[in-house]
A and B are shown apart, each in its own frame.
Chain A
Amino acid sequence: MLKIKGWSLIRFYTILVYIWMFAPIAVVIILSFNPQQFGTFPMEGFSFKWYGDLFHNRTIIMAFKNSMILGSLTAILTTAIGIPAAMAFIRYEFPGKNTLNTLLLAPIMIPEVVLGVSLLLFLRWLQQPKSFLLLLIGHCVLTLPYVLLVVQARLVSIKRSYEEASLTLGAGPFQTFKEVTLPLLTPAIMAGMLFSFSISFDDVTATLFWATAQSQTVPVKIFAMLRNNISPEINALGAVMIVLTISIPLLAGYLARRFSRRLE
C-alpha cells in the first residue's frame, strides 16, 4: 500500500515538473494565434496575423536568413575541420597529442561570456572591425568540440581491422578513408553537423558580443525586440523556432537511422 502511494506521489511530481517545463512553450504557441495586441485568456478569436507580420518584417527575415546561413556554414566548416582532427587524434600518434586535444575541447568548459569578450579583444588587437566572418569563426570555436567528441567516439568504435583489410586489399590510405572509414562515420558526421547547427542557431551569449547590425541572428534579434516592446510577433517567431529546433533533429535522426540501416 505504502509503495503504491509512493509511486503515485512520484508520478504527480513528475507531471508537475513537465507542466512547469512545457506550459510556457505551450502558452507561446497558443498566444501566437491570438489576434489581440495584449494576450489575455480566454483568447478572442484565432488568426495568423502575427505570422503575416513576421513575414513582412524585413529585419526578422534578414535575421532568419543570417541564422540559417551562419548555422549551415558553421556545421559544414566544423565537420570539415572535425573529421581530419578526429582521425589524427584517434588513428595517429604525434607529440603533444593530448594537450592539443584538451585545447580543442576547452571551449565547452570556458564560460561563453569569456569566449565572447576574448575573441572581441583579439579582433581589437588585430585592428579589424566586427564582421560576419568573426561570427562564423566564433561559432566554429563554440561548436567544434561537440563535433570532435561525436566523431571521435564513433571512430573509436570502428575497428582498425576494417581499414587494415582495405589496405591489404590494395586500396591506398586515401581510398581506404573514402571507401571504408567515411561511410562508417556517416551517422556521427550527421549528428555532429546537427549539433553544430543547432548550437549555432540557438546561441545568444557569445553572439551578442560578436554580431553587427547586419549580422544579427534570430535569438539576438528576439533579445533586441524584447528590450523595446513586447510584440506578439515574438510569440509567432518563438513558435517558428520551436517547430524548427524540434523538427530538424527529428528529421536528422530519422535520416541517420534510415542511412545506418542501409549500411548494415
Chain B
Amino acid sequence: MDNAKNNQIVQLRNVVKRFDSVVAVEKMDLDIEEGSLVTLLGPSGCGKTTILRMIAGLEDCTEGDIYIKGKRVNDVPVHKRNLGMIFQDYALFPHKTIYDNVAFGLKYRNVSKAEIRKRVTRALETVRLPGVEHRKPAQLSGGQQQRIALARAIVIEPDVLLMDEPLSALDENLREEMRQEVDNLQSELGITTIFVTHDQREALSMSDTIIVMKDGLKQQEGGPEEVYDAPVNHFVADFLGHCNFYRCRITGREKGLTTVEVEGGQTLYSEHDEGWEVGEELELLVRAQKIVIESRTEEIPGVSLNIFPGKVKSRMYMGGEAWYFVEMEDGTVIHAINISRVAPFHEGDEVTLHIPPRHCRLIPKD
C-alpha cells in the first residue's frame, strides 16, 4: 500500500459500518502509530465497540478499507490477524484451567510444549499472578480474571492489543489500580494498544492519543492535553469535563488579546485567536476548574482582566473538591470547581471571579 507510513500499524480509510438502517460508524479515518496507546472515547452507542470489532475482524466493514502493518485485511479472517482482544466480560474459557486459557493461543502458533510452558509462566509473572495455573476462572476474583485475560492476550505477542472497556466491570479502587497496571504494562512491552472507554478520566490519564467520537463520527483526535485544553467543539469540551459555555461575539483585539462580548453584555479577554472577523458569533468556553474564586476583600495578585463580582448561589462538597455556582451581576450562573481551600465559601458569600484569558477558549457556535 502506497500510503503506508513506516510506523503506522493500523489504518482505517473511509470506513463505514451500517447495521440495516443504523449507521454505527461514519467515514472513519484512523492512523495508529506503532507502540502507542490510543483511546476511543465517546458516549454509549457512538460506535467505539464497532470500530474495535472491525479491526479485529469480528465485524465486516460496509465500506472502506482496514490496513494492518500496511496490508489490507478486509478479507483476512479473525483468526489469521494476530491481534489480542480483551473483552468487557473477560471471556475466559470457563471449562479450561488458567494454564490452558493462557496457553490457548500458542497452540495454534507452532510453539513447542516446553516453549509454551515457559511463555505461559512468563506471562503470568508479567501480570503478577504466578501460581494460579491449575485454577478455573470462576475461582479468581474479577481483577484477577482481568489480569489473566491480559496474560492470554499478550502471550501470543499480538501486533495490536484491542481492549473494549476492560475496566468497567471493576469497582472504583481496583479500577484505578488496574488502569495503572495496564498503562505500565503497555509502556513496558511497547505493545500498540487501542483502548475503548467512555470514561474521560481513564482516557486522559493513559492515552498517547485520544479519539473523541459522537454518533459514529470522529470529533477530534489529539493528545490528552490537546483535547482537554483545546477542544474543537461544544461536544468535545463538554464530554471531557465540566465547562461553562456562553454565546459571544467578537468585538476586536486589545493588548494582543481577542475581546468578546458575552450575552449579558460583559466583555472578556481571550488569548485564543484564530483570525476571526469582528462581529463573528462564537461560543466561549471556560473549564470550571480554571476559574479562580476569591473572597471580595482579597486582591487577586497580578491580575487586571476578566475580573467579575458575584455571589455564591450554591455549593456542593465533593470530597477532594468543592463546586460553586456563582451568580454574576447580570444573572448568569458560573460553575467553578475549586480544589479544597482552607476556608470554603458559603451560600450568599460575596466573591470575586477571575477567568484567566489563557483559559478562555472560543469555539464555533453549536
Residues of A that sit less than 8 Å from B by CB:
159, 161-162, 164-173, 175-176, 179-180, 183-184, 262-264
Contacts and interface: CB of A to CB of B under 8 A. Distances in A.
B82 A170 contact: yes
Given A170-B108, A170-B109, A171-B104, A161 B89 contact: yes
A167 B58 contact: yes
28 contacts: A159-B89, A161-B89, A164-B58, A166-B93, A166-B104, A167-B58, A167-B78, A167-B79, A168-B56, A168-B57, A168-B79, A168-B162, A169-B79, A169-B84, A169-B108, A170-B80, A170-B82, A170-B108, A170-B156, A171-B105, A172-B79, A179-B104, A183-B95, A184-B95, A262-B95, A263-B94, A264-B94, A264-B138
B136 interface: yes
A180 B94 CA distance: 9
Q: Rank and list the top 4 A-B pairs by shortest CB-CB distance, nearest first.
A: A169-B105, A161-B91, A170-B108, A165-B91
Given A170-B109, A175-B108, A165 B87 contact: yes
Contact of A168 (B84, B89, B92, B138): B84
B85 A164 contact: yes
B218 interface: no
A162 B93 contact: yes
Contact of B152 (A162, A169, A176): A169
A170 B93 contact: no
Contacts of A175: 108
A164 B94 contact: no
Nearest to B137: A264
A159 to B, nearest CB: 7
Q: Give the bracket for the number of chain B residues in contact with chain A.
A: 20 to 34
A257 to B, nearest CB: 15
B83 interface: yes
Contacts, number: 76
Of B58, B85, B91, B92, which is in contact with the most chain A CB atoms at under 10 Å from its CB?
B91
Contacts of A164: 56, 58, 78, 85, 87, 91
Contacts of B109: 170
B156 A169 contact: yes
Interface string B314-355: 000000000000000000000000000000000000000000
Given A159-B91, A184-B95, A264-B94, A168 B78 contact: yes
Interface in B94-143: 94-95, 104-105, 107-109, 136, 138
Nearest to B152: A169
B59 to A, nearest CB: 10
A57 B103 CA distance: 58
Contacts of B156: 169-170
Given A168-B162, A171-B104, 15 more contacts: A161-B89, A164-B56, A165-B152, A167-B58, A167-B78, A168-B57, A169-B152, A169-B153, A169-B156, A171-B79, A172-B108, A173-B79, A179-B104, A180-B93, A183-B95
Contacts of B138: 264
Contacts of B80: 170
A161 B109 CA distance: 21
A132 B84 CA distance: 53
Contact of A169 (B57, B94, B95, B104): B104
Contact of A165 (B57, B81, B85, B108): B85
Nearest to A162: B91
B83 A168 contact: yes
A176 to B, nearest CB: 8
B95 A168 contact: no
Contacts of B104: 166, 169, 171, 179
Of B78, B84, B89, which is in contact with the most chain A CB atoms at under 10 Å from its CB?
B78
A165 B79 contact: no
Contacts of A179: 93, 104
A2 B196 CA distance: 63
A162 B96 CA distance: 12
Contacts of A183: 95
Contacts of A165: 85, 87, 91-93, 152
A139 B153 CA distance: 47
Interface string B67-82: 0000000000111111
Contacts of A169: 79, 84, 104-105, 108, 152-153, 156
Contact of A170 (B56, B87, B91, B105): B105
Contact of B85 (A168, A172, A184, A264): A168
Contacts of B58: 164, 167-168
A161 B87 CA distance: 7
B175 to A, nearest CB: 20
A184 B91 CA distance: 13
Contacts of B78: 164, 167-168
Contacts of B83: 168
Nearest to B108: A170
Nearest to A169: B105
Contacts of A173: 79
Contacts of B93: 162, 165-166, 179-180
Contacts of B152: 165, 169
